[in-house]
């Protein structure tokens, strides 16, 4: 009886040990499978994590660059506004100066009218006729298609002169005629500096420009380095520029010689 009871206890212990071993084996298999799911034998997770960090760094750098570019753009826009304001201010200043000049001219005319001038009617008429003849010749020389600013201004002054002459303000008429003559002379000076007709790719200057030769150069007949040399120009020679074409400038010298010289060879006096 006692032996049977001991045997049963032994069998129970044996079964209990087997059951415990089975449970431990199952747990180990489960743990192994779970570990197998989370393991990264090829390093994919690590690589993905590194790529993510690299992308985040690149994004942060791009964002910093974008903010810097926006800052520079804002600065450039502010500078542009400032320049536009300066240009507008200069334009207003020029307009004001032109108005002052026009007012001064009118004031001289009114002063001449009040004083009735000492100039005679005959002198005013003679000068007006001389200016009209010069204007007709100048128009024929300039050509109908070219709107020269000096020609237009001279025409305007001559019309004003005729009106003052009609009102018996001979002093004012003479003053306006002399002003018109100065514009006619300026245009004639430019024309004398030209050789032949202005070509399509040659740009005339609005007014003759006083320059000096910066280095020894050659005055050439055409704007080309192989063109015939008219004369040699020494450093410091005073010249007058009338037009330009690419890197060449059309000039006249003090003694009347006219031709082309490289733009780099001349500068302001």
Decide if 132 is inside a domain. Answer: yes
Residues 213 and 186 in one domain: no
pLDDT value at position 34? 47
127 vs 133, 178, 231, CA distance in Å? Answer: 10, 8, 40
Decide if 60 is inside a domain. Answer: no
pLDDT value at position 10? 53
pLDDT value at position 102? 83
Three-state secondary-structure class, residue 194: coil
Residues 188 and 111 in one domain: yes
Q: Which of 166, 192, 218 is the last residue of a domain?
A: 192
pLDDT value at position 17? 54
Number of domains in the chain: 2
Decide if 231 is inside a domain. Answer: yes
Question: Pick from 189, 200, 197, 199: which is nearest to 242 by CA?
Answer: 189
How many other C-beta atoms lie within 10 A of the C-beta of residue 227? Answer: 14
Residues 172 and 256 in one domain: no
Give the phi and the psi of residue 234 in degrees, each rounded to 5.
-85, 160
Residues 116 and 173 in one domain: yes
Decide if 178 is inside a domain. Answer: yes
pLDDT tens, residue by residue, 34-91: 444 455 556 777 777 887 787 888 878 888 888 888 878 867 776 777 787 788 878 8
pLDDT value at position 197? 52
Q: Which of 192, 217, 237 is the last residue of a domain?
A: 192
Q: Give 10-residue mean pLDDT values along the chain (269 residues).
A: 52 53 55 49 73 80 82 76 79 84 81 63 87 80 66 90 89 89 78 56 73 91 91 88 86 80 88
CATH number (domain holding residue 264): 2.30.30.40
Three-state secondary structure readout of 115-145: HCCCCCHHHHHHHHHHHHHHHHHHHHHHCCC
- Angle between helix axes 149-166 and 170-192 (nearest 10 degrees) is 160
Decide if 52 is inside a domain. Answer: no
pLDDT value at position 72? 81
Domain extent for 223: 209-268
Decide if 77 is inside a domain. Answer: no
């Amino acid at each position: 009886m006692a032996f049977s009871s001991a045997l049963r206890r032994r069998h129970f212990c044996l079964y209990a040990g087997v059951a415990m071993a089975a449970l431990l084996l199952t747990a180990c298999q489960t743990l192994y499978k779970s570990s197998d799911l989370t393991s990264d034998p090829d390093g994919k997770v690590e690589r993905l994590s590194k790529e993510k960090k690299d992308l985040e760094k690149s994004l942060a750098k791009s964002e910093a660059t974008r903010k810097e570019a926006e800052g520079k753009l804002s600065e450039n826009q502010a500078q542009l506004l400032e320049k536009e304001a300066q240009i507008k201010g200069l334009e207003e200043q020029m307009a004001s100066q032109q108005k002052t000049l026009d007012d001064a001219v009118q004031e001289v005319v009114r002063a001449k009218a009040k004083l009735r001038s000492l100039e005679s009617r005959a002198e005013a008429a003679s000068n007006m006729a001389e200016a009209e003849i010069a204007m007709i010749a100048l128009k024929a020389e300039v050509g109908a298609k070219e709107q020269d600013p000096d020609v237009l201004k001279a025409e305007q002054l001559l019309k004003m002169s005729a009106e003052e002459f009609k009102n018996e303000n001979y002093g004012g008429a003479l003053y306006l005629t002399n002003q018109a003559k100065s514009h006619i002379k300026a245009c004639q000076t430019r024309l004398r500096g030209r050789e032949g007709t202005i070509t399509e790719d040659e740009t005339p200057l609005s007014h003759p420009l006083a320059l000096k030769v910066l280095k020894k150069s050659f005055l050439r007949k055409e704007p080309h380095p192989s063109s015939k040399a008219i004369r040699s120009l020494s450093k410091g020679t005073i010249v007058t520029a009338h037009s330009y074409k690419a890197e060449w400038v059309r000039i006249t010298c003090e003694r009347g010689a006219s031709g082309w010289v490289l733009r780099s060879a001349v500068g302001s006096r």
